[in-house]
Every structure is written in C-alpha cells, then in structure tokens.
Amino acid sequence: MKPDSPYPFDASVIAISFNTRDLLRECLKSIQDEFSRLPAGLSAEVLVVDNASGDGSAEMVESEFCASAIPVRLIRSAVNLGFGAANNLAIAAAQGRYPVLLNSDAFLHPGALARAIAHMDADPSAGIGTARQVSRDGAPQPSALRFHTIKRDAMMLSGLSAHFPRLRLFAALDWPAAGSSPSEPGKTREVDWSPGAFLILRREALQKTGLFDPAFFLYYEEVDLCRRVKAAGYRIMHWPDVVVTHIGGESSRQVKSLLFSESASQVVLWRMRSTLLYYRKNHGAKVWLARWLEEGLYALRWLRNVRSRVAARRQRAQEAQVLIRLLRQAWRETSGGRVSPPRPW
C-alpha cells in the first residue's frame, strides 16, 4: 500500500455471481493463489456480490471462503441487479486503491494482479486497465476492442469480419494484432474498451465520470463506462502481460427457463435492449440506423433461406424470424432506446 493512500488495500478484487457456483469457487481460489504471490508491500481484498443465485453460490462462499486465511466479503442482493449495478454496489464498499473487476468465470494467471497494479501506478493517464483474455486452451479471445459504430456493427452482424479477418475494409471491433496468438501476444496499447471479464479502475477517473450506468442490465455497460472515462481525458490501456483465462457466457447459459426457442434466449433480448440504449445515449438518432441495420440483416437471412429445400437453411430462416421479433420487442420495451425496463430484466 502506498504510504499516502487513504485506502487500507492496494486493490479490491470484485466478482459478481449469478448461478455459477463451481466456477466461482475456481475463480476465488485463483484470486487467493494470486494474493499469496503478491510482492511485499502490496495488499488486496476480495468481495463477492451474489445476484440472488439459486444454486447455493452465496452459501458456498460463506462456508468455504468467508472464514478462510484470505477472507471474502460477501454481499447478498435480494434481486438480480445485473452486472453494472452489482459492481457499483461492491465498488462503493471496496477499500482498495484500485477496484479490480473479475468475472466469476475468469481466472487470474500468476502475476496478473501485481502487474496490473504496477502498470496503473506507472501511468497516471490510465483510467482503466485491461488484460489479455484467453480461453481454457489458451486461444486468444477479443480483449482489445474499438467502439461500436454502424459500420463496425454491420461488418460483425453480417459475418464479413469473421470471414475476412485480415482485410481492413471489413474490420469490426477487434484491434488488429492485439493478443493475436499466445506466441505473439501483441503490445501494450491504448484501446477503446475491453470486455468486463477483467478491468482495473482508477478511482480518480470514476470520481469524474461516475460508476456504471444502471440502465444497462447486461451488455454495453463497460463500453459506456470506457467511453465516459476517455471523454474525461483518461486512457483505456491494454496490457498483454496481464493474462486472464475467461470461460465466457456461463451466467447467460443459466437462464434456461426464459428461452424463447432453441435458438433465441432471453439474453438475446437483453443484448438488443442494451444495444438500443447505448446507441440512443451515445449516438442519438443513429439508434434508428442500428435498429434497421440489424433487422434488415435478419430479413435478408430469412429471404435467403426460407424457400430452401435444405432443413438447416430453413431453420436459419426460422431463427431470423425469432430475432426480428425479439428486436421489435426490445424497441417497444425501451421506447427506441430511451428508457431501461425495470430491473431485474
């Protein structure tokens, strides 16, 4: 801890839990292992916000971690607050100089926390620091990204960016060459945003921008925060030597009772709502373009496949119809991106 700091810890590692008990246990063990490796002079705490899990996640934390050698502070929420609002609750209670957000399905690699703290201390212009994210098998995941625009979303939704990943014309959100492979992990660079599986936050920046916008229940909350932090004059930094394994999508897959069909679940609706809220907030009337772009691409998919004799293509046509219906529902429920439906979504 810095001697002039009013905070008793250097970092507060925060994990949000929603029905991911076994992964949360693995996540907390990785945090405790990392705490045991911290250099002399660095200290940290860990907080868990449980979003009204029904799988015993909170009870597991209480029985296995709250009285451990490195105790976990557990905050129980009576309802599912979503990602941003739950993190806001934990950040307000945190006692570390740097709040560190870590998904319950993400695991720190050795030295990741100490490196992130050192990078933040060395660069006061860094408002948010991000990590290189990899899957279980070490394959790179998108973690150094550009802000959403109509063109970039068009490249992503149409699949052109996936089919032609090396062509700049079809570039979508990924920043080229950032974490491109385990052997060539990229370079330290300023980016626009990174998924919230790992973020280290500067409190001074948050004091200027505020915390996560609670209008976003899930998706786009970190994009919106990074946009505000950059607007306040800070940088979003991507450090490839800070590595996190991220499973991805575990909480979303738990919402099995809210499936609209086999191909479109409740979380698709959440993503669509957040897309509309984000575009209305940050791009005004361009929210109409975002809506018609997505709906138009689904309509084209339906036209291409609806009369096919191939069963798989007819299935894609049915999926497109479901997605159009969900998008129109999201538009109604958010009044075209103007209002956020009551939580929990």
Give the model confidence (pLDDT) of 173-204 as tens digits. 776 544 444 444 578 999 999 999 999 999 99
Instruction: Please report whether residue 155 resides in a domain.
Output: no
Q: Is 341 helix (H, G, I), strand (E, B) or coil?
A: coil
Q: Where is the domain boundary, 252, 269, 304? A: 252
**Contact yes or no for 193/223 (Cβ under 8 A):** yes
The confidence score (pLDDT) of residue 181 equals: 43
Helix (H) or strand (E) holding 63: helix 57-64
- The verdict on 50 and 196 lying in the same domain is yes
Q: Where is the domain boundary, 217, 252, 287? A: 252
Quickly state the pLDDT bin for 25 (edges 50, 70, 90): very high
Q: Where is the domain boundary, 252, 268, 301? A: 252
- The verdict on 205 and 314 lying in the same domain is no
Assigned token pair, 127: 């408002």
What CATH number is associated with residue 215? 3.90.550.10
**DSSP letter string, 71-95:** PEEEEEESS---HHHHHHHHHHH--
Q: Is the pLDDT of residue 163 over 90?
A: no
Instruction: Please report whether residue 340 resides in a domain.
Output: no
In total, how many domains does the chain have?
Answer: 2
22: containing domain? 9-144+179-252
- The verdict on 17 and 116 lying in the same domain is yes
Q: Is the peptide bond before 344 cis (omega within 30 degrees of 0)?
A: yes
Quickly state the pLDDT bin for 35 (edges 50, 70, 90): very high
Instruction: Please report whether residue 283 resides in a domain.
Output: yes
- The verdict on 289 and 219 lying in the same domain is no
For the chain, what percent of residues have pLDDT higher than 70? 88
- The verdict on 225 and 267 lying in the same domain is no
- The verdict on 196 and 289 lying in the same domain is no
Q: Give per-residue pLDDT as tens, 69-107.
A: 888 999 999 999 999 999 999 999 999 999 999 999 999
- The verdict on 294 and 190 lying in the same domain is no
Instruction: Please report whether residue 171 resides in a domain.
Output: no
Instruction: Please report whether residue 66 resides in a domain.
Output: yes
- The verdict on 221 and 290 lying in the same domain is no
Instruction: Please report whether residue 163 resides in a domain.
Output: no
- The verdict on 247 and 276 lying in the same domain is no
Close Cβ partners of 102 (under 8 Å, ≥ 6 residues apart):
13, 14, 15, 27, 31, 108, 197, 198, 244
SS3 content of the chain, % helix, strand, coil (to 5): 45, 20, 40
